[in-house]
Amino acid sequence: MARFYPLAKKLLFSLEPESAHALAAQALKLLGWCPYLVRPYQHPMLENTILGMSMPNPICLAAGFDKDATMLAGLNQLGFGGVEVGTTTPKPQYGNPKPRLFRFPKQESLQNAMGFNNKGVARLVARLERVRPLACMVGVNVGKNKETPLEHALQDYQQALQASLGVGNYYVFNLSSPNTPNLRDLQNNAFVGELFSMARDLTHKPLFLKLAPDLPSDALLKVCASALEHGAHGIIATNTTLDYALLPGAKPFGGISGQVLKTKSREVFKQIAQAFFGKAVLVSVGGIDSAQEAYERIKMGAHFVQIFTSFVYQGPLICRQINQDIVKLLQKDALKSIQDAVGIG
């Protein structure tokens, strides 16, 4: 498969980005029906148990790629330790007008203004109920509908969470997308406390807060503290950035991901890890494109990491390659398992 991806990438990148994504989705669905085409890479040094969840490895796919849980079987075959589906909302919604997804191949970065386009939580739940048992963990990322006023946002998060409680291993509250008007205003102590208090009354499953990389340091740490105080198990950092100076030629709207986000995301995660390592499960995402970068985030305190843009640019075997290389790094450092690496940096 590795030798075929450069040709497939030429085809995919000749298409408009959303059309390419739809074609890739069909290929992943086919892979799900033909599990012997690709053998997931497995190694006991990579295995971990986090909040009672068995993870075959620390490389996971971030939310946004499989919004409606249509590709899970294929993504599982590629060997991801976890796949986060969504963002899902109580009601279906189209999202923002097209074009809303842009490639920057020279910088191996993306810019998206998707706007939580999805078919609604009921459809997502129906698909997850039909999927066969998977080796990977399944996270469900939930958000609010665009037309829901901020004062009623809590009800949207509650509705999406309640509807999906039977199908996910863990749940993520997305308050940090830049593509739903005023959503990031919900990244405040009061709302976050109310949100997680509500969620803890509904479930004992692991709950995470996903944060933007653009919050001031003091506000960032206070929001994290409020989430953990009111029942969150962990923090996912970071979502896409609105720092358009990072990307030459960036559009004046939408969030940026990929290599140009790497330094900023790493620095934000470092602040969170210094404050909350040992008090919460920490997840790093943003610009991770190699085993070395993933391993550095793990040593900084990430219990697992997530990728997205590097999957688009490097292809379907990136998870295998990163995991193989992490095993070599663990052996080089004379560590017995991935658990031994978390937080040693």
| DSSP at 2 | T
DSSP 40-104: PP--GGG-EEETTEEES-SEEEPTTSSTTSSSHHHHHHTT-SEEEEEEE-SS-B--SPSP-EEEE
Number of separate helices (H) and strands (E) present in the chain: 12, 13
Q: Are 159 and 202 in contact (CB under 8 A)?
A: no
Residue type, position 160, single letter: A
Instruction: Report the first-to-last Cα separation within the chain, whole angstroms.
Output: 35
| DSSP at 132 | P
Euclidean distance between CA atoms 119 and 71, whole angstroms: 14
Write the CA distances from 231 to 106, 111, 200, 235, 291, integer angstroms.
42, 33, 6, 12, 32
Angle at 310 between CA 10 and CA 324, to 5 degrees: 110
| DSSP at 216 | -
Catalytic residue of the set 164, 177, 265, 284: 177
| 177 is annotated as an active-site residue | yes
Work out the number of other CB atoms within 10 angstroms of the CB of residue 125: 20
Residue linked to tokens 């996270």: 139
- Alpha-carbon radius of gyration of the chain: 19
3-state DSSP call for residue 151? helix
What torsion do the CA atoms of 295, 297, 299, 305 make, to the nearest 10 degrees? -70
Euclidean distance between CA atoms 220 and 225, whole angstroms: 9
Residues marked active site are found at 177
